[in-house]
């Protein structure tokens, strides 16, 4: 057995120590890091600018009107208008989206990932689902006007919150299917094999192991989809959401939503002699819409954390 000279061994140890403790000066890596940092800073700057531009004009409305702005109805005087019909419509549209799109989207994802065989027909379905996720929202508005307002009028009562919820649920359904499929695909195969090893059926493994493990990813995709749906105005315009005075707030009658209210007030001219401008009330309605989306996010984060704790056993 050959002996290594102490000087050679010391030199080798020094090279190893240097390689482990000294950062390699990779110019390309440093440039990429700087570019990514600049992109993050620009994104945060744009977000901060938008929030300032939205919250700044909204503060006089909340200061002068207070809760009256939330409980009032739509009108033609910016000093007296309120957004209760828009809150009512957006809230129930959001609930309808959750009640319709989550069960259908998750069920479709489970079938495609756990039960469907890798055939040409399955791949055709997956490709079309991914294509549907990129279809403009106005096309879904035409679909909702034709099917949910026209053909299913006995069920939806025409241009109502029910028709709007169905239309926007179809709009976000492909996104929920895609995100749920990715979350289910990320579940380790060993987790499934362990369930099969103790004699569990495919449904038992899916229900008790796969879904709890994939729940955080599924809920994250659902929240992003809901945030997109609540901010869409084009489908609501085609379905028939009104921008004027509502006789009542119900699920089977004329309706409006916060995006429609913001759209309407942004296009109105200021009223002479009024203390507030429609620009101010439109910004205040935008803040309320952000708060409504944040509320749904809070519920999603709560349930996601519960599934995380259940998955990790803490």
Residue range 7-40, pLDDT digits in tens: 555 666 676 666 666 555 678 888 999 999 999 9
Bigger pLDDT: 313 vs 99: 99
| CATH class, 62-312 region | mainly alpha
Whole-angstrom distance, CA of residue 227 vs CA of residue 305: 19
Residue 233 neighbours by CB distance under 10 Å: 19
Whether pLDDT at 45 is above 90: yes
Q: Across the chain, which distance is largest between two alpha carbons, in Å?
A: 100
Tell me the per-residue pLDDT of 96-119, one tens digit each, with 9 for 90 and over: 998 999 899 999 999 999 999 889
Whether pLDDT at 132 is above 60: yes
DSSP character string of 257-302: -HHHHHHHHHTSPPPTT-SS-HHHHHHHHHHHHHHHHHHHHHHHHH
């Amino acid at each position: 057995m050959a002996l290594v000279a102490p000087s050679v061994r010391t030199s080798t140890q020094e090279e190893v120590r240097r390689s482990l403790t000294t950062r390699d000066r990779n110019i390309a890596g440093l440039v990429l890091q700087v570019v990514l940092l600049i992109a993050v800073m620009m994104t945060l700057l744009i977000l901060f600018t938008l929030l300032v531009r939205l919250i700044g004009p909204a503060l006089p409305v909340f200061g002068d009107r207070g809760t009256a702005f939330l409980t009032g109805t739509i009108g033609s005087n910016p000093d007296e208008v309120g957004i209760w019909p828009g809150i009512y419509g957006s809230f129930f549209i959001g609930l309808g989206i959750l009640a319709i799109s989550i069960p259908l989207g998750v069920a479709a994802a489970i079938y495609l990932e756990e039960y469907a065989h890798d055939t040409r027909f399955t791949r055709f379905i997956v490709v079309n689902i991914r294509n549907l996720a990129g279809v403009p929202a106005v096309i879904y508005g035409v679909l909702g006007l034709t099917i949910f307002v026209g053909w299913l009028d006995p069920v939806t009562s025409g241009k109502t919150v029910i028709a709007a919820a169905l239309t926007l649920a179809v709009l976000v359904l492909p996104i929920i299917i895609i995100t749920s499929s990715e979350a289910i695909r990320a579940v380790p195969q060993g987790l499934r094999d362990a369930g099969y090893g103790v004699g569990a059926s495919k449904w038992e493994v899916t229900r008790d192991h796969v879904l709890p493990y994939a729940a955080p990813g599924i809920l994250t995709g659902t929240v992003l989809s809901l945030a997109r749906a609540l901010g869409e105005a084009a489908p609501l315009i085609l379905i028939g959401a009104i921008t004027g005075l509502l006789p009542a707030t119900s699920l089977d009658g004329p309706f409006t939503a916060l995006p429609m209210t913001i759209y309407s007030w942004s296009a109105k001219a200021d009223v002479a002699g009024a203390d507030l401008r429609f620009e101010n009330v439109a910004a205040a309605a935008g803040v309320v819409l952000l708060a409504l989306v944040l509320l749904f996010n809070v519920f999603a984060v709560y349930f996601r954390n519960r599934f995380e704790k259940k998955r990790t056993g803490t």
